[in-house]
Amino acid sequence: MNKKTIKDLAVTGKRVFTRVDFNVPRLENGEVADDAKIKAALPTITYLLEQGAAVILASHLGRPKGQVKDNLRLTAVAAKLAELLQLEVLKSDDVVGPDAERLVSSLEPGQVLLLENVRFHPGEEKNDADLAQAYARLADIFVSDAFGTAHRAHASNAGIAAYIPAVAGFLMEKEVENLSRTLHNVQKPVLAIVGGSKTADKISVVKNFLKLADTILLGGGMANTFLRATGIAMGRSLVEEDQVENAAAIMREASKRNVKISLPIDVTIASGKKDTAGAQYVAVDAVPAEQMALDIGPKTRIVYAKLIAKAKTIIWNGPLGVFEVEPFAQGTIAIAKAVAASAAFSIIGGGDVVAAVEKAGVADKISHLSTGGGATLEFWEGKELPGIAVLQDK
């Protein structure tokens, strides 16, 4: 990575404003139910503490849209972080302002302070300059370790960098280096797996993958749209009619580039997501008018697994079925096991697929589990991410 990291600056005795991604996917009964994102930030936080820095942490949680929402406070996150660090974590009830300034003024080297949910402040998502300066006044150095928000130009991950030295944390460095391996000097053949329900969200990603991949496997709702583009009726399956022509154009471009796009040959169907008892397998051209395709079928899983076994690099974003419902999660889990069994360098981006490999018990067999959702997609699209662009060059 051509950006400076925390190892390039002296942090001893400094107050370090560290943007982390503690946007945990689940809070249950007032406690953090999934602490993976908090654990991902521990190497950076631990290093700063060991170097004698006073650490000020900032994160968002959910989408409060500039309003204070008690159910989105970071109190439970602070408690979980304290448990993981085995260290007291101070917590401010404000994003900025008197309470935050009071706590920062007495913060000693080796101590940790977590600010309140930055998206409670209406200026955060607007990248308000006054708010960015208020953040900067709290600290001497800015460390960006929230890759998951790097595609957003917000005050706490981009605006602040205009006022104090800005460098990457270890998680940011790890994300950029691993994702870059899929864009530059990549080991071929490259296989991309793209799923999820919304074709419109993934069209630009698939287009970019045409330049990178030798084979693209499609699943989920977006596969239905591509199947419709081939002339197959899909019953009541999710199909984005306004994207059918885009899908057809992508398949034509893939043919010109000699990129193989594989579509499901069979699917798991039911009358709806709640019809778990009615799940059955049919060929893609035999979906009844009143039924929906909700997962890839067993024959498709075998075909896809064989293609996966031949790859040297694998990129995967989006589940291949309605993953949150058990009968329709089997395709995603089967493919997770196939990717884990391959010898390829593999990267998975997106919370649902990360959850799938964890559910399948193969997370430790994946080369890199990206913490980014939209950020990972935009990185793969070849876009410059604002949260990375503002960091100091080496």
Domain end (from 171, 198, 227): 171
User: Residue 28: helix, strand or coil by DSSP?
Assistant: strand
Q: Are residues 232 and 102 in the same domain?
A: no
Confidence of residue 381 (pLDDT cuts 50, 70, 90): confident
Q: Are residues 107 and 217 in the same domain?
A: no
By C-alpha distance, which of 361, 360, 355, 359 is closest to 373?
A: 355
Q: Are residues 272 and 141 in the same domain?
A: no
Each residue's pLDDT tens digit, 351-376: 778 888 888 899 999 999 998 888 98
- The reply to whether 41 falls in a domain is yes
- The reply to whether 126 falls in a domain is yes
Share of the chain above pLDDT 90, in %: 82
Separation CA 315–CA 332 (nearest Å): 14
Q: 263 near 229, Cβ under 8 Å?
A: no
Mean pLDDT of 222-230: 96
Mean pLDDT of 10-30: 90
Q: Are residues 118 and 202 in the same domain?
A: no
Provide the phi-psi class of 110: left if phi over 0, else alpha when psi is between -120 and 50, else beta: left
Q: Are residues 143 and 216 in the same domain?
A: no
Using alpha carbons only, give the angle 336, 341, 345 rounded to the nearest 5 degrees.
85
Q: Are residues 93 and 182 in the same domain?
A: no
Q: Say what the pTM is.
A: 0.86
Confidence of residue 70 (pLDDT cuts 50, 70, 90): very high
Separation CA 234–CA 224 (nearest Å): 7
Share of the chain above pLDDT 70, in %: 100
Q: Are residues 184 and 304 in the same domain?
A: yes
User: Which H or E element spans position 215?
Assistant: strand 215-218
Q: Are residues 354 and 270 in the same domain?
A: yes
- The reply to whether 268 falls in a domain is yes
Name the packing angle between helices 36-50 and 75-85 (round to 10°).
60
- The reply to whether 392 falls in a domain is no
pLDDT of res. 173:
97
Spacing of C-alpha 235 from chain mean position:
32
Q: Are residues 112 and 198 in the same domain?
A: no
Q: Are residues 145 and 260 in the same domain?
A: no
- The reply to whether 58 falls in a domain is yes
- The reply to whether 1 falls in a domain is no
Mean pLDDT of 106-116: 97
Does pLDDT of 349 surpass 90?
Answer: no
pLDDT of res. 148:
92
Does pLDDT of 332 surpass 80?
Answer: yes
Residue 203 vs residue 21, higher pLDDT: 21
Each residue's pLDDT tens digit, 253-277: 999 999 999 999 999 999 999 999 9
- The reply to whether 394 falls in a domain is no
Q: Are residues 92 and 58 in the same domain?
A: yes
User: Number of folded domains in the chain?
Assistant: 2
Q: Are residues 203 and 117 in the same domain?
A: no
Domain end (from 171, 201, 231): 171
First to last CA, the chain: 9
Domain with residue 104: its CATH number is 3.40.50.1260
- The reply to whether 389 falls in a domain is no
pLDDT of res. 383:
86
Q: Domain containing 314: what range?
A: 178-380
